[in-house]
Structure 1
Amino acid sequence: MQSAWTANGASGATQNTVPNAFTLVDNLQWVKGNHSMTFGVQMQWLQDNLTSQATYSGILTMGYNANSTANFATGSTSLATNTSGYSYASYLLGAVGGSPSIALQPFSETGGRYNPISPYFQDDWKVTKNLTLNLGLRWDYFPPFKEVLDRWSFLNATGMNPATGTPGVLEFAGHRGADISCNCRTPVHTYWKNFGPRLGFAYQPDPKSVVRGGFAVAYSHAGGVGGRGGAGNGTGQLGFTISATAPAEVTTGASAGPSFYLNNSQYFQSIGLANTAFGGPGYTLPVPQGPSTASLTLNTGNYVSNGKFVTASSAPGYADPYLSGRAPEFVFYSFGIQHAITDTLTASADYVGSQSHFVAPGSSNIRGYWSDQLDPVYLAALGGVAASDGTPILNALATPANVAIAKAAMPGLNIPSVFVNSSTKATIATVLRAFPQYSGVSDTWGQNSANISYNSFQFSLQQRPWHGLSYMVNYTYSKNLGDDGTFRSGFAIPAGAMSNGKSYKMDRIERSYTTISMPQTLSAFGLYQLPFGKGAIGNDHFWVRTLAGGWQLSSIYTYHSGTPLAVTWGGCTAPGQGQCMPDINPAFFGHGSARKNGSWGKGITAKQLGSTIQYIDVNAFSTPATFGNATKTPVYKIGDAPRTAPWGLWGPSAWNMDASLQRAFQLTPERLQLVIRADCSDVFNHNTKGGINTAWGPTSTTFGTVGSASGNRDWQFSARVNF
């Protein structure tokens, strides 16, 4: 089949986002005695205008296949596309295959509106000559998303769906009547407690030392109170648009033919098949009706109606009333000492930490209930149960017989009868989800509920110019932990569903080093004026001043330790779960490190990257336990490997040094100066390895291999004239 032209990026060809920010700031400063006070307010009018497609329709994708140019199979009314027909020939004829559809929208642009107001107060109080306090308070009023004309819809999680009689139904924003709308501009509640205190002090116990500390709480725009995710269109516009679907192509019998022809050639005109319109001659485009009671059941399915199975589509986005209104919250704190060792050399040592809450995670299934996952409670109870044909009961169709088997294995199991039918195509696992009438749920803003903590020791040494030498050295030792990724399950996990037999609170098993954690970083940069020439060594010698004077050498050195590796597995069979993870192999304890074959990349060349040598022992991990052998296909339990750094596995560290040598020649006594310079990056031509393969498999030969290498020495020479 010919690829759709949208595969080359046309789906966003006319997408446009125009943000506007209008800000009013007013400050009143008042100095009274030892107090320097600031009273102020910041008011903003923020707009996020989004155009997905700048027309009254979406992107039209048309497929062309071999059907329209194929012969009938011998003695059959079916097309022989395996021996005849060519999709490109169908394209040349304009024979559109399948049943193409296009979204018709009554408007092409939506506009998000936010009007935050933030009053604040700050007092810099000089308590004594060597003690200063900084006291402040800011309050951020962050109202949630509103669309300028209330053109958005969302999932009402408690409203009853008319098609299934189960919770979960589309609802519109605005005042459109209590039967179809919330009679409000937004279902999200404004959070009124965004108070941000600021406390700081600076104390000078002696002329050469200063002690500083601080604490602050700050809030930012993201999620339902601004930022990029849904900032212009909220949780979506389902119910405002309508799909125009062309007639389906016919592939058997005398009436076999494409959906329609797009061909206006002279020949097609002569045979009466000329056409340039979507759907073919006589096809009438439907007219978008806008919000109505008929819209409430849009995308609803997974039930049988009039003997036919109704296929489900994605639910409207969910706007969590509480979490959507919570702005990302950051708590900062620090304490440090700075001491002047000499008049030009200063050292400082600081503890710096932060806590981040209500931030976006690295995965979208942090909340299992709202991301349409299957609660592991059902996995623990039914994972080892087989249907009458040996299929795992969770993967079996929700027929009356299979539902009876499931209820016998798990007394009290509640499956709404509307989803139980002999003609169903939905599985038991599907109908046990929170909203089985939909194929998926998008937790648009509620997923912004991850937590991250950062704690560090930071040391700095600064040398101001001294005998031609100046430099700065910075070292940081830190620990960065979070529950912001992987999410093998967004539910609390019962012991019966875990391979190690332990239970975990919601997302607790995922709390570990963040994937960007770098425990140690070191940077040093300096400049040295070579001690030759005028006023230095060789001052009295013409050739020394001419050849060796005026040169300066500078260099930058950086080092950072590797980031933690996240080992995953692709063989899980449990339905409705998140990221598949292996087990830590208990038989491997006592072997020491899971690393092998020396340092990363040892013994390989560039041609061998991604293969040949494994630097992680595949036996350090194992497949999770199963729920038994009652089913034809074993269902694996949830793996227990830590989200990151299992067995203390960290990626390669990296270091680099750049240097430059420069001299200025005075061409005239005052005005003209020639500067020549040589720069060298990666002075030591050090090679840094990366791309570690962390996709584990019990027989994998590429797991733990090095996939990339970077770094090469580079020289640059330059000259310039200053005047």
Structure 2
Amino acid sequence: LLTGAASPMPQFSALNNTWQVAGQVSWTHTFSSNTLNDFTAGLSRVEGVLGSGAKDYTVPSISVNGINADGGQAYGVGFAQGDFIQHNYHWRDVLTHVKGTHTLKFGYEGWYGDDVEPFQGPWSQPKFSFNNLLALAQDAPTNEGGIMYNPATGTQQLWNWDAAARTFGLFVEDTWKARRNLTLTLGLRYDDSGNPWSRSASTVFGNFYLGTGNSVEQQIANGYAKGTHNALLHSVNNLFSPRLGFAWDPTGNGDWVVRGGFGIYNNWLTSANVQEEFRGSPPGLVMPTFFAGGTATAQAPIFVLGNSSKPPFGFVFPTFQGGLNAQGGVVGTNFSIGGINPHLKSPKADIWSVSVERKISRVFAASVGYSGSHSYDIVGNGNAIGLVSYGVDINVQPGDLITHQSIAPTRLNPSFGSISYADNNRYGNYNAIFFDFKGRSSRGFIDFSYTRSRSKDDALAYPTPFNPSAYYGPSIFDVPNRFSLSWNYSLKGFKDRGAAVRRLSGGWGLSGTTIFQSGYPFTAQNFNSYNPICADTSPGAPTCPSTANPAVGYAPGSGDYNADGNNLDYPDAVSYHQLTDNKAWLTGAIPKSDFALPAFGQGGNEKSNLFRQPNFFETNINLYKDTAITERVNFQFRFEVFNLFNRANYANPDVNFPDGNFGAATASHEPRFWQLGGRISF
């Protein structure tokens, strides 16, 4: 599979090549008329090389505040020549036995997989941040990072990673026809989610362990990094998941049916969730951040071009003082590390539902239902859609940059930079009521449904990692209203005419779908770095900021309102008003007058996810004709129109508050288009 899109600068356009080989075998054996065994085993190998085939790898990755091309990266290839390889082996066996009114199932499944990452290209291409275009023109980056270093020598080193994990589970299920009008399903599952391990000397699991202290902040300040063979102190095991379901016909004549159930579900912490955060953690290779001006133990950024198309691309890299201190880090180098609670638990969800369905006539039925869930022990930032969650940065202290009059954070634990720590400290809730009306006849069907729901959690990354429940609000996938309609109708044709007429008029049909749903929620945020105004702005003034020239306010476009060194902050919200006209998304549906700058050094008061992205409305239709070529061969012609009413469905609004494009959509779904197709089935 070859994917990729053109870059705004052609020399940085690159492709993503992915190869996959997969196979599966199954064996079903019938022991007797009431006993059956089904065994399945499969394997797959996936390899992908990202950011390949670009014309130029000598330009580093460059991000400039206020420029939102390529996701904020204005220059450079990005994930240059990043190779990944994964092997997956899966096997499953289920024994089914019918005894009287009971259908019993007993099962086992196992999995083994690895994670091989020769990310030599991506982590030898420097990443520079600039406050503005003038700073870029002056070759004055705020910081440099993205490079792997040997912590013993303080010099750049190419990267390689090789880890593996295994899991297994057992289950038993009984589907019991308790009465003529009552069926119960009882189940129990046991899981062991495993404990990933390192398979090579270059793959070092360097975990961060909390130290002593009366508060979380003190424990972070006294924490330390240490190598370990396995990711956790023990497997995430003893996971029992009981489940109960029922289907009841209260009248016994098939006109009514009541369904419901309850279950406890354990969420598998994937190998990526549990071990990939150790990439860049000492005593293995580390990824320092070098700040303008340098520190006592680390050089300043070196902003130069490379001279090669192969890693490390001929760049000149800054160095830092090698050797680790008693906490397993180096003061002043700001290398970002990962950590995970060594006693990490499986996230859980209690899920329940009940519904009532009524047959209205021979062809129509209607139903109403309720479903809900409570999720707990969620890992911080675990609801990031499409991303592997490595937790949230806990090595922060509000006001850090102001207290130390610096643009480089000192942090709670100065032996490290950011510490992305995964812990079970989040929760969520979901409630929904749904209505459905459906009908079916010999010539077609119709299904109309509406769902009113609410989903809330505190499972994202926020301006501060402490007290996440203060940010409890709508989930990023919360859709309060969703309507859907699907239908199909086969035309009768002229069966009493000649053969030619019957053949031409028969087999025609129409089908279609309509979907409307509310927009997803979002929060106005500021991803820009700290850029202060200092007391003395005259020519020749002391360095800004410094003890001799302290910061007194925010410069235009500045971020990091709470001055903790993390570029994720909320403004003050004076209103949550937004424009409702769909066309407003072209220029910005969220007025900037809704917001104000927080007091200097303070975080904003905006609540999480109270704004809404564009809603979605689309109707698709399909005209088709089935023609029997022979008794066993059929040809179907299809004429399909997507987005029939050509409704503009905007998407991905710019949520970075300082941007000039803030509140405006940066993408859209497909406009109206049609296609012709044919299919032969036999």
What SS is found at the alignment partner of 2:447? strand
Kept after mapping to 2: 8 A contact 1:155/1:315: no
Matched to 2:338, the amino acid is G
Task: Provide the rounded CA distance (Å) in 2 between the counterparts of 1:173 and 1:457.
Answer: 48
- Aligned ranges for residues 4-43 of structure 1 at < 5 Å? 4=58, 7=61, 9=77, 13=81, 15-23=83-91, 25-43=92-110
Pairing 1:172–2:191 present: no
- Aligned ranges for residues 169-248 of structure 1 at < 5 Å? 169-173=224-228, 185=230, 188-206=233-251, 207-222=254-269, 226-229=270-273, 231=275, 234=278, 236=280, 238-240=282-284
Gap regions ≥5 residues in structure 1:
64-81, 84-99, 175-184, 244-257, 264-277, 281-288, 302-310, 380-392, 399-424, 492-505, 603-608, 627-634
Match of 2:375 among 349, 356, 360: 356
Task: Provide the rounded CA distance (Å) in 2 between the counterparts of 1:117 and 1:674.
Answer: 45
| Structure 1 equivalent of residue 470 of structure 2 | 509
| Structure 2 equivalent of residue 300 of structure 1 | 330
Normalised by the length of structure 2, the TM-score is: 0.65
| Structure 2 equivalent of residue 621 of structure 1 | 595
Task: Provide the rounded CA distance (Å) in 2 between the counterparts of 1:680 and 1:39.
Answer: 47
Matched to 2:675, the amino acid is Q
User: Does the C-alpha gap of structure 1 residues 5 and 213 become closer, same or farther in structure 2, counting only changes over 3 Å?
Assistant: same
Kept after mapping to 1: 8 A contact 2:259/2:354: yes
Kept after mapping to 2: 8 A contact 1:221/1:227: no
Pairing 1:717–2:676 present: yes
What SS is found at the alignment partner of 1:568? coil
- Aligned ranges for residues 453-492 of structure 1 at < 5 Å? 453-466=429-442, 468-491=443-466
Kept after mapping to 2: 8 A contact 1:50/1:232: no
Task: Provide the rounded CA distance (Å) in 2 between the counterparts of 1:345 and 1:458.
Answer: 17
Matched to 1:373, the amino acid is V
What SS is found at the alignment partner of 2:249? strand
| Structure 2 equivalent of residue 332 of structure 1 | 351
Task: Provide the rounded CA distance (Å) in 2 between the counterparts of 1:45 and 1:722.
Answer: 38
Answer with 1 or 2: which has the greater Rg: 1
Q: What is the deviation of 1:482?
A: 1.3
Pairing 1:438–2:416 present: yes
Q: Which moved more, 1:561-570 or 1:186-195?
A: 186-195
Q: What is the deviation of 1:170?
A: 3.0
User: Does the C-alpha gap of structure 1 residues 689 and 394 become closer, same or farther in structure 2, counting only changes over 3 Å?
Assistant: closer
Task: Provide the rounded CA distance (Å) in 2 between the counterparts of 1:616 and 1:169.
Answer: 44
Task: Provide the rounded CA distance (Å) in 2 between the counterparts of 1:574 and 1:622.
Answer: 14
Task: Provide the rounded CA distance (Å) in 2 between the counterparts of 1:616 and 1:233.
Answer: 36
Q: What is the deviation of 1:124?
A: 2.1
| Structure 2 equivalent of residue 404 of structure 1 | none
Q: What is the deviation of 1:671?
A: 7.4
Kept after mapping to 1: 8 A contact 2:451/2:482: yes
What SS is found at the alignment partner of 1:395? helix
| Structure 2 equivalent of residue 526 of structure 1 | 487
User: Does the C-alpha gap of structure 1 residues 32 and 394 become closer, same or farther in structure 2, counting only changes over 3 Å?
Assistant: same
Kept after mapping to 2: 8 A contact 1:486/1:643: no
| Structure 2 equivalent of residue 177 of structure 1 | none
| Structure 2 equivalent of residue 642 of structure 1 | 607
Matched to 2:402, the amino acid is N
- Aligned ranges for residues 219-618 of structure 1 at < 5 Å? 219-222=266-269, 226-229=270-273, 231=275, 234=278, 236=280, 238-240=282-284, 296=326, 299-301=329-331, 311-314=332-335, 316-322=337-343, 325-357=344-376, 358-359=378-379, 360-362=382-384, 371-374=394-397, 395-397=402-404, 430-431=409-410, 433-443=411-421, 445-446=422-423, 449-466=425-442, 468-491=443-466, 506-534=467-495, 539=496, 549-569=506-526, 571-576=559-564, 579-585=568-574, 594-596=577-579, 599-601=581-583, 610-611=586-587, 614-618=588-592
Q: What is the deviation of 1:21?
A: 2.5
Match of 2:196 among 142, 145, 150: 145
**Which structure is higher in strand share?**
2
What SS is found at the alignment partner of 2:470? helix
What SS is found at the alignment partner of 2:223? strand
Kept after mapping to 1: 8 A contact 2:652/2:665: yes
User: 1:630-685 CA distances to partner (integer Å, 9 max, x unpaired)?
Assistant: xxxxx24322221112xxx42322211111223345678x5786654422222222
Kept after mapping to 2: 8 A contact 1:557/1:656: yes
Q: What is the deviation of 1:122?
A: 1.9
Matched to 1:595, the amino acid is Q
What SS is found at the alignment partner of 1:210? strand
| Structure 2 equivalent of residue 179 of structure 1 | none
What SS is found at the alignment partner of 1:317? strand
User: Does the C-alpha gap of structure 1 residues 229 and 27 become closer, same or farther in structure 2, counting only changes over 3 Å?
Assistant: closer
Q: What is the deviation of 1:449?
A: 4.2
What SS is found at the alignment partner of 2:582? coil
Matched to 2:577, the amino acid is A
User: Does the C-alpha gap of structure 1 residues 528 and 320 become closer, same or farther in structure 2, counting only changes over 3 Å?
Assistant: same
Kept after mapping to 1: 8 A contact 2:633/2:681: yes
What SS is found at the alignment partner of 1:470? strand
Normalised by the length of structure 1, the TM-score is: 0.61
Task: Provide the rounded CA distance (Å) in 1 between the counterparts of 2:570 and 2:603.
Answer: 7
What SS is found at the alignment partner of 2:420? coil
| Structure 2 equivalent of residue 652 of structure 1 | 614
Kept after mapping to 1: 8 A contact 2:437/2:449: yes
Matched to 1:458, the amino acid is F
User: 1:107-154 CA distances to partner (integer Å, 9 max, x unpaired)?
Assistant: 94422333x332322222222111122122222223322224674322
Kept after mapping to 2: 8 A contact 1:202/1:211: yes
| Structure 2 equivalent of residue 136 of structure 1 | 187
Q: What is the deviation of 1:103?
A: 3.6
Matched to 2:594, the amino acid is A
| Structure 1 equivalent of residue 24 of structure 2 | none
What SS is found at the alignment partner of 2:210? strand
What SS is found at the alignment partner of 1:683? coil
User: Does the C-alpha gap of structure 1 residues 37 and 665 become closer, same or farther in structure 2, counting only changes over 3 Å?
Assistant: closer
User: 1:591-636 CA distances to partner (integer Å, 9 max, x unpaired)?
Assistant: xx8235x61216xxxxxx754xx54443333333x3xxxxxxxx24
- Note the aligned Cα RMSD (angstroms): 4.7
| Structure 1 equivalent of residue 16 of structure 2 | none
Kept after mapping to 2: 8 A contact 1:145/1:234: no
Q: Which moved more, 1:506-515 or 1:45-54?
A: 45-54
Gap regions ≥5 residues in structure 2:
1-55, 62-75, 129-136, 139-152, 214-219, 288-301, 308-313, 317-321, 527-557
User: 1:284-331 CA distances to partner (integer Å, 9 max, x unpaired)?
Assistant: xxxxx9xxx967565411xxxxxxxxx333264323122xx3123232
Matched to 2:162, the amino acid is T
Kept after mapping to 1: 8 A contact 2:647/2:671: yes
Matched to 1:717, the amino acid is L
**Which structure is higher in helix share?**
1
